[in-house]
Structure 1
């Protein structure tokens, strides 16, 4: 999967949780960790929608689950 595309999707989902003008609480290692988690879930749940997977992973990241 294209890493830039996944990063952009992660960023867009984070923007749903943060007001305009707030900095996103992500650094490079956070993006990498989320990306790897997304790939792992997608590999095990091949029929799952990528958008849903990214939403779930970002939510878990934010909630500390």
Structure 2
């Protein structure tokens, strides 16, 4: 998987919850979330990437 793709997917997922100008994620949080998604995919390689990203973003927002 490519890191750039994952970051883009994360930001697109955030757009469901916030307008582009008011996204509540810093560069550090974005990097940590990207790493978390890579870890989740390693643990469950057959998991759907789109679902993993959505779940991780939801967990980030509600956690």
Give TM-score scaled by structure 2 length.
Answer: 0.92
Q: Which residue of 2 aligns with 1:52?
A: 51
Q: Which residue of 1 aligns with 2:32?
A: 33
Number of residue pairs matched?
Answer: 63
* Cα distance change on mapping 1:17 and 1:4 into 2, 3 Å: same
Give TM-score scaled by structure 1 length.
Answer: 0.89
The gaps in structure 2 that reach 5 residues or longer are none
The gaps in structure 1 that reach 5 residues or longer are none
Moved over 4 A (4+): none
RMSD: 1.1
